Chains A and B, each alone.
Chain A
Amino acid sequence: MKIRLNKSVAALATGALLLVGVPVAGLATASSAAAKPVYVIGYEGPLTGSGAQYGQNELGGLNLAINNANATGMLPFTLQVKSYDSQGDPTLSPAQAQAEVANTNLVAVVGDAFSGATHAGEPYWYSAHVAAITPSATAVTIATGKNNFFRMVYGDDIQGTTDANFLVKTKGAKTVTVISDGSFYGAGIAGVVSVAAKTAGATVTNDALPQTSSCSGGVASVSEFAAEATKIKASNPAAVFYGGYACDFANLLPALKSAGYKGTVMSGDGSYDAVLLKTTTPKSAAKGAYLSAANCGSTGNLTGTLAKQYKKLTGIEPAAALYDAQAYDAGNILVAALQKVSLTGGVPAIRAAIITYLHAGSWTGVTGKIQFQANGNLVGTGKGNIAIYKVTGTKLPTAHTCY
């Protein structure tokens, strides 16, 4: 008995040693007294867990926009960003959504990063009339027609259809193999491409290759890519579309090259990421691959001074950060909204006014021209808005054609 109690004290003390460091580590926080009213913009997304990188990228972009807006000194209010970690998990999103809407200073939400979590949080945002602008959730099904939902990216349907038409009509591929990585995003876009390619007249083979442990969150084995490539070589389709993320597309490309596959290889915006050319070994294996991304007319990334500021703020390389620019634009749109709407009616009125403003306005951001439809999708059929890139060198390509 005695021994055990001593041990528990030891355990507690050792635990305390670890935990004491937490508050000590961050004593240097700045606080400034401001007489101006304070409004909070919520960010909800995965800040921990397997999708944490997306959340951190977006939070950084939003923070950058809000910091810069505050720094101008021109605003009649002070803006704060408050982050709510959903871990990208639909089961955690409702709790955070309720915390957000209960925040009496919160005027709008940027998030969630993931479609599933957005879907789960949406009823709570809607019931409190809070605008939720997602920088990255692309699932077709989440635009349900509720007036508080907005997204900064085109849905999978527009990009997927464009990609399929590019492969079948522009490149003349009569046989297409569509591979899904089994993620929410990958399965979505692969599904759209598969249907659209069939509609365009191609013979489509669907295949699945799960996310590997080279992508955080995946658990499959990378070795399967070699086998998949061998299989593709044997059936020899004219084109291969990969619905998934850059970290795994970087495994597929060298495997296809090794297997001697010579057809057209393409992937969506999940693969339009500097990680692709950081990870593909050798880099030459990526040569000739096509990538698509929504919002033609920009690289979709922060550049110049913004890129430097972003790097300084977050420590993340902006060229490697997916959806940072979308979150940055969302932040700026909300700043514009707060400058336009009447601030006299209190937070509930501001929330509703922001929704109205978002439906009426249009903006030009680093991701291009932004305007929302009634259901929150970006305006346009997407025609001319999907950029298709061809990898030529050892850097992520910026030269593109708009389709």
Chain B
Amino acid sequence: MHGFLSYLNAHFHALRLEFWGLFIGGIGSGIIYAMVAIGYTMVYGVLRLINFAHSEIFMTGAFAGYFTLNYLIGSSSPTGFSSILLIIVGILAGGITGSFFAVVLERVAYRPLRIRKAPKIAYLISAIGASYFLLNLAAKEFGRIGRGIAQPYQNHTVFTIFGAPVEMYNIIIFVAAGIMLIIVDRLVSKTKLGRSIRSVAQDSETASLMGVDIDRTIAMTFVIGGFLGGAAGFLYALNVGVLYSMGFTPALKAFTAAVLGGIGNLRGAVIGGLILGVTESFTVVFFSGAYTDVVAFAILVLVLMFRPTGILGELIGRSA
């Protein structure tokens, strides 16, 4: 008993000391999860489909950013305005590549099934197949060892919150992801495209009777989700480099986040992502890095048992 108390005490002590450090780290990974989760959630909204291959969209985006930046930067070390420009270029490279592969994926692996009105399990299996294909093709073409990305900026501590350092990297992903998330939220809730996405999500047959082009709307959903996924891949790679298998875990966590927040719900995905990221951080301190997945899935199962539609509830049409 005493051992347990001293264990708790020691860990609470660490927690008090480093609360803000852990919190900032958690938000940093959470916002990446959130960006990826939006891709899952939007596709789920319109197709009622878990896009299992989204992890590979993330990976292709990271590789596109990696190749682009390595080509542009070479051995120089950019600062100031050129840093910002390079990061924007990297995000665009990752995002556009992500969009491209997402659309190709939809055309090749999903649309034939949709036309045939295949059962849901067929979509999932097709998605797993596409994911395997892309993952291993990337391994074949780009090698099986990890590589660091050329740094477009100089990382340093910018300021501190209650003693916890906030680094340039944290600021970059926070600002970039924040802007993109706000744009997507506005896009879906205010524009004509957003209206058609929401209408397809609510009732695709009625939407098509109202003159919404279903195929085009679904393709646009993949474009938006793919852009965020690919850009998130690039932002993630800025910190940890690229490897063919890099997408699997962040995407799995992002999917968990999407379900946690209420799948099909954009803001739910963001909230789910942030909760998951912060939870992971604290789990490492409280238990061990070995058990973060256990805690994440325990939370997921508990949320689903007591609130099967997730924290904010489902449906892209209702709250986005």
A contacts, CB < 8 Å to B: 52-53, 56, 182, 207-210, 212-224, 226-228, 230-231, 233-235, 247, 250-251, 254, 258-260, 275, 278-283, 320
Chain A neighbourhood of B29, CB < 8 A = 221-223, 226
**A216 pairs with B25, CB closer than 8 A:** no
**B21 pairs with A230, CB closer than 8 A:** yes
**B146 pairs with A250, CB closer than 8 A:** yes
Chain A neighbourhood of B189, CB < 8 A = none
**A234 pairs with B243, CB closer than 8 A:** no
B26 at the interface (CB under 8 A from A): yes
A283 to B241, CA, bound (A): 12
Among the listed B17, B154, B246, B280, which residue makes an inter-chain contact with A227, where contact means beta carbons less than 8 Å apart? Answer: B280
A309 to B97, CA, bound (A): 36
Among the listed A217, A220, A254, which residue makes an inter-chain contact with B289, where contact means beta carbons less than 8 Å apart? Answer: A220
A280 to B280, CA, bound (A): 22
Which residues 140-181 in B have Cβ within 8 Å of A in the complex? Answer: 144-149, 151, 154-155, 157, 165, 167
A217 to B145, CA, bound (A): 11
Chain B neighbourhood of A56, CB < 8 A = 144
Which residues 5-52 in B have Cβ within 8 Å of A in the complex? Answer: 10, 13-14, 17-18, 21-22, 25-26, 28-29, 32
Please name 21 pairs of A and B residues whose Cβ atoms are closer than 8 Å in the assembled complex, sorted by A.
Answer: A207-B288, A208-B288, A210-B289, A213-B249, A219-B293, A220-B292, A222-B249, A223-B29, A223-B277, A226-B25, A231-B18, A247-B145, A247-B243, A251-B240, A258-B165, A260-B165, A275-B145, A278-B146, A278-B147, A281-B151, A282-B154
Interface string of B89-111 (1 = CB under 8 A from A): 00000000000000000000000
Instruction: Return B252 CB to nearest CB of chain A, in Å.
Output: 8
Q: A53-B145, A210-B289, A250-B148 are in contact. List 5 more A-B contacts (CB 8 A).
A: A208-B290, A213-B248, A217-B245, A260-B165, A278-B147
A75 to B18, CA, bound (A): 66
Among the listed B241, B244, B277, B280, which residue makes an inter-chain contact with A216, where contact means beta carbons less than 8 Å apart? Answer: B244
**B146 pairs with A227, CB closer than 8 A:** no
B contacts, CB < 8 Å to A: 10, 13-14, 17-18, 21-22, 25-26, 28-29, 32, 139, 144-149, 151, 154-155, 157, 165, 167, 236, 238-241, 243-250, 252-253, 277, 280-285, 288-290, 292-293
A13 to B167, CA, bound (A): 55
From A251, A258, A260, residue with most partner B Cβ within 10 Å: A258
Instruction: Return B74 CB to nearest CB of chain A, in Å.
Output: 15
Query: Nearest 3 pairs between A and B by C-beta?
Result: A223-B29, A209-B289, A227-B284
Chain A neighbourhood of B282, CB < 8 A = 227
**B155 pairs with A224, CB closer than 8 A:** no
Instruction: Return A21 CB to nearest CB of chain B, in Å.
Output: 13
**B167 pairs with A258, CB closer than 8 A:** yes
A227 to B280, CA, bound (A): 8
A251 to B10, CA, bound (A): 26
Chain B neighbourhood of A217, CB < 8 A = 245
Chain A neighbourhood of B32, CB < 8 A = 223
**A222 pairs with B22, CB closer than 8 A:** no
Q: A315 — nearest CB in chain B belongs to which residue?
A: B143
Chain A neighbourhood of B165, CB < 8 A = 258-260
A230 to B284, CA, bound (A): 9
Q: A260 — nearest CB in chain B belongs to which residue?
A: B165
A223 to B17, CA, bound (A): 19
A56 to B28, CA, bound (A): 36
Instruction: Return B233 CB to nearest CB of chain A, in Å.
Output: 12
A223 to B279, CA, bound (A): 11
Chain B neighbourhood of A208, CB < 8 A = 288-290
Chain A neighbourhood of B151, CB < 8 A = 281-282
**B28 pairs with A281, CB closer than 8 A:** no
A212 to B154, CA, bound (A): 25
A223 to B240, CA, bound (A): 9
Chain B neighbourhood of A207, CB < 8 A = 288-289
Instruction: Return A22 CB to nearest CB of chain B, in Å.
Output: 14
**A226 pairs with B241, CB closer than 8 A:** no
From A221, A224, A233, residue with most partner B Cβ within 10 Å: A221
Chain B neighbourhood of A220, CB < 8 A = 249, 289, 292-293
**B284 pairs with A224, CB closer than 8 A:** yes
Chain A neighbourhood of B157, CB < 8 A = 258
Chain A neighbourhood of B285, CB < 8 A = 227, 230-231, 234
Instruction: Return B229 CB to nearest CB of chain A, in Å.
Output: 15
Beyond A224-B284, A282-B151, is A213–B289 a contact (Cβ under 8 Å)? no
Chain B neighbourhood of A282, CB < 8 A = 151, 154-155
Chain B neighbourhood of A182, CB < 8 A = 290
**A215 pairs with B249, CB closer than 8 A:** no
**A227 pairs with B145, CB closer than 8 A:** no
Beyond A219-B249, A227-B25, A247-B145, is A214–B243 a contact (Cβ under 8 Å)? yes
Chain A neighbourhood of B236, CB < 8 A = 222
A213 to B246, CA, bound (A): 5
A255 to B305, CA, bound (A): 36
**B241 pairs with A227, CB closer than 8 A:** no
Chain A neighbourhood of B248, CB < 8 A = 213, 219
Among the listed A209, A223, A230, A234, which residue makes an inter-chain contact with B290, where contact means beta carbons less than 8 Å apart? Answer: A209
Chain A neighbourhood of B149, CB < 8 A = 281
Among the listed A212, A230, A280, A281, which residue makes an inter-chain contact with B22, where contact means beta carbons less than 8 Å apart? Answer: A230
Q: A247 — nearest CB in chain B belongs to which residue?
A: B146
Instruction: Return A171 CB to nearest CB of chain B, in Å.
Output: 24
Beyond A223-B277, A234-B18, A259-B21, is A320–B243 a contact (Cβ under 8 Å)? no
Instruction: Return B295 CB to nearest CB of chain A, in Å.
Output: 11
A301 to B276, CA, bound (A): 42
Chain A neighbourhood of B144, CB < 8 A = 52-53, 56, 216
**B281 pairs with A227, CB closer than 8 A:** yes
Chain A neighbourhood of B26, CB < 8 A = 223, 227
Chain B neighbourhood of A280, CB < 8 A = 148
Chain A neighbourhood of B277, CB < 8 A = 223
Beyond A221-B29, A231-B18, A281-B149, is A213–B281 a contact (Cβ under 8 Å)? no
Chain A neighbourhood of B292, CB < 8 A = 220-221, 224
Instruction: Return A46 CB to nearest CB of chain B, in Å.
Output: 11
Among the listed A218, A224, A234, A275, which residue makes an inter-chain contact with B14, where contact means beta carbons less than 8 Å apart? Answer: A234
A222 to B58, CA, bound (A): 15
**A214 pairs with B145, CB closer than 8 A:** no
